[in-house]
Chains A and B, each alone.
Chain A
Amino acid sequence: METVSCGNVLLFLVSCVLSNNFIFSRFLGCCPFLGVSSKVETAAGMGMAVTFVMGLASLFTSLVYQYVLFPLGLTYLSTISFILIIASLVQFVEMFLKKSSPALYKSLGIYLPLITTNCAVLGVATINVSAQYDILSSVLNGVFSALGFLLAIVLMAGVRERLETSHIPEAFKGFPIGLFTAGLMAVAFMGFSGLV
Chain B
Amino acid sequence: MNITAIILALAVMAVLGVLFGVVLTIADKKFAVEVDPRASAIRECLGGANCGACGYAGCDAFAQAVVDGEAPVNGCTPGGAKAAEAIAAIMGMSVDLSGERIAARVVCQGECGVAKDRYIYDGYASCATVAGIAGGPKMCRFACIGLGDCAKACAFGAIEIVNGIAKIDESKCTACGQCQKACPRGVIELKPVNETVIVSCRNTDSGREARAACMKACIACGRCTKECPSDAIHVEGGVAKIDPEKCTRCGACAKVCPCKCIVDFLA
With contacts A84-B17, A84-B20, A92-B23 taken as known, whether A72 is within 8 angstroms of B8 at the C-beta atoms is yes
Contact call B23/A81, Cβ cutoff below 8 A: no
Tell me the count of chain A residues lying within 8 A, CB to CB, of chain B.
19
| Main DSSP-derived SS at the B contact region | helix
A96 CA / B17 CA spacing, docked (Å): 20
User: Which of B27-35, B148-156, B258-266 touches A?
Assistant: B27-35
A119 CA / B128 CA spacing, docked (Å): 37
Contact call A84/B12, Cβ cutoff below 8 A: no
What's the count of A-B pairs with C-beta under 8 Å? 43
A2 CA / B5 CA spacing, docked (Å): 29
Q: How far is the CB of B63 from chain A (nearest CB, A)?
A: 15
B9 interface residue per 8 A CB criterion:
yes
Q: How far is the CB of B11 from chain A (nearest CB, A)?
A: 9
A154 CA / B109 CA spacing, docked (Å): 52
The closest CB in chain A to the CB of B15 belongs to A68
Q: How far is the CB of B133 from chain A (nearest CB, A)?
A: 16
With contacts A92-B23, A92-B24, A92-B27 taken as known, whether A84 is within 8 angstroms of B33 at the C-beta atoms is no
The closest CB in chain A to the CB of B29 belongs to A95
Which of A68, A92, A95, A102 makes the CB contact (< 8 A) with B12? Answer: A68
Which chain A residues border B13 with CB–CB below 8 Å?
Answer: 77, 80-81, 84
Which chain A residues border B31 with CB–CB below 8 Å?
Answer: 95-96, 98-99
List 17 other contacts, CB 8 Å, given A81-B12, A84-B16. Answer: A64-B16, A68-B12, A68-B16, A69-B12, A72-B8, A73-B5, A74-B9, A74-B12, A77-B9, A77-B12, A81-B13, A84-B20, A85-B16, A85-B20, A91-B27, A95-B28, A95-B31
A95 CA / B23 CA spacing, docked (Å): 12
Contact call A72/B24, Cβ cutoff below 8 A: no
The closest CB in chain A to the CB of B17 belongs to A84
A80 CA / B17 CA spacing, docked (Å): 11
Residues of B whose CB lies within 8 Å of any CB of A are: 5, 8-9, 12-13, 16-17, 20, 23-24, 27-28, 31-33
Residues of A whose CB lies within 8 Å of any CB of B are: 64, 68-69, 72-74, 77, 80-81, 84-85, 88, 91-92, 95-96, 98-99, 102
A15 CA / B28 CA spacing, docked (Å): 38
Q: How far is the CB of B27 from chain A (nearest CB, A)?
A: 5
Q: How far is the CB of B68 from chain A (nearest CB, A)?
A: 13
Which of B5, B9, B12, B24 makes the CB contact (< 8 A) with A91? Answer: B24
Contact call A98/B33, Cβ cutoff below 8 A: yes
Contact call B9/A88, Cβ cutoff below 8 A: no
Q: How far is the CB of B81 from chain A (nearest CB, A)?
A: 31
What are 22 A-to-B residue pairs whose CB atoms are below 8 Å? A64-B16, A68-B12, A68-B16, A69-B12, A72-B8, A73-B5, A74-B8, A74-B9, A81-B12, A81-B16, A84-B16, A85-B20, A88-B23, A88-B24, A91-B24, A91-B27, A92-B23, A92-B24, A92-B27, A95-B27, A96-B31, A99-B31
A84 CA / B8 CA spacing, docked (Å): 17
A73 CA / B32 CA spacing, docked (Å): 39
Which chain B residues border A72 with CB–CB below 8 Å?
Answer: 8, 12
A26 CA / B28 CA spacing, docked (Å): 35
A77 CA / B28 CA spacing, docked (Å): 28
